[in-house]
Chain A
Amino acid sequence: MKDRSAIFIASAAISVFLTGAIIIAHDISRELRQFLTGLTGHHWISVSAIAAIVFLLISTMSYLITGSEKTRHTLKADSLWNWSWVLAAITLVMALGVLAVYVLHYLSA
């Protein structure tokens, strides 16, 4: 049986990392913020939509590529334990990163 029970948690970890990176980058780069605002009319809605799309794409991709035994083994697709902690670590680091950006933004204003 193909055990790839951890792929959605792994996809969430990658999605949180990418979304967090976009959030931090859009507060630093005015061009990116303007681009995101132009997409939907508000940067927050664009970030939300991108987060949902990124998770959907990465989940689908992870499901497809873990069809082979070798990829499942390499990605540890059956290790809920490892990927849960990776998700927790990435989420907390990205959350602190986002908070740090706004603190710096406030202090430098």
Chain B
Amino acid sequence: MLLVLALVKGAMLTGRIQKGGKNPFMLHGRAGIFLFAILLGTFFYGLWIRLLHDEPLLRSVHGWLGLVIVTIAALQVLPSVTAKERTKLRPMHRLLGYSLAPLIVIEAVWGLYMGVTDGGKSLVLVHSLSGGLAVLCLTWIAVEMLYLKGEGIARARIASYLASFFLIAGCWIAGGYNYRTAYGAEVRPVILAGPTPWAHIIVMEAKEHIFVFLPIIAIALSITLATLDGEALLKNPKSRRALAVVAFLALFIVLITFLMGAIISNAGKAGLEV
């Protein structure tokens, strides 16, 4: 939420999207500082946990990516707080700010993947990363629609194509292949024999079928954005809110299936420990 708030208020300040709410400058700054504090805290917490388990530091992609993110976040916040003349810093601040969003999503998904699967299942990682990046794209579409300005329609179209790609290639095809091969042969029997068989019978069965709705919604959103008259959309706030509703709907389903995925992976892990 802090990441989205910092990005949205930053985009309002640069005039990329319409201004909304009071004092975007103050909110952008505060969201950035709080986000930096959380990133720094979670990074050192991760290091502390590694030390507690006598594990080497910074030996994983998750660890190194965390360091990169904290460094970028520091480069975003510290000069903004200390420097008096910030005009020259703005292009770099903007570039680093936008690059932080996918990096944080990838880092969060990677951490969750390591936490619930113990690593080693690259297809599950691709599946989860695609879901995380789709969340980012769908949020991007919703923000563009709620605060649309001239060039925003082109950006929303790109975001919708990316969302459709991640949902179809990464989630549907890669996830479906994993479900048919590794999951069916290795994970499913373990869950059914473990302490939480409902994780397969209810959660996995519901997840795999509810997911089928998502590519349909994403493609419908993409085609609608691609075929809509941009000028007419700019003048019609009701239609823009309607498209935001569709983006939020897809976002909600991705997040629910994400939660279901975590429950299933956790059940697989619990089954192996029995």
Contact = CB atoms under 8 A, between A and B. Distances in A.
Interface of A: 3, 5-6, 8-9, 11-12, 15-16, 19-20, 23, 27, 42, 44-45, 47-48, 51-52, 55, 59, 80-81, 83-85, 87-88, 91-92, 94-95, 98-99, 102-103, 105-106, 109
Nearest to B241: A81
Contact of A20 (B172, B213, B228, B239): B213
A42 B180 CA distance: 9
Interface stretch (B44-52, B69-77, B243-251): B243-251
B209 interface: yes
Interface string B189-206: 000000000100110011
A51 B213 CA distance: 8
B215 interface: yes
Given A48-B172, A102-B201, A106-B202, A23 B212 contact: yes
A20 B253 CA distance: 14
Contacts of B88: none
8 contacts: A5-B224, A8-B219, A23-B212, A44-B208, A51-B215, A92-B249, A98-B209, A106-B201
Nearest to A91: B213
B246 A88 contact: yes
Interface of B: 172, 176, 179-180, 198, 201-202, 205-206, 208-210, 212-213, 215-217, 219-221, 223-224, 227-229, 232, 238-239, 241-243, 245-246, 249, 253, 256
A94 B213 contact: yes
Contacts of A15: 216
A104 to B, nearest CB: 10
Nearest to B168: A52
A84 B241 CA distance: 9
Given A44-B179, A59-B223, 7 more contacts: A16-B213, A20-B213, A52-B216, A80-B243, A84-B246, A84-B249, A95-B256
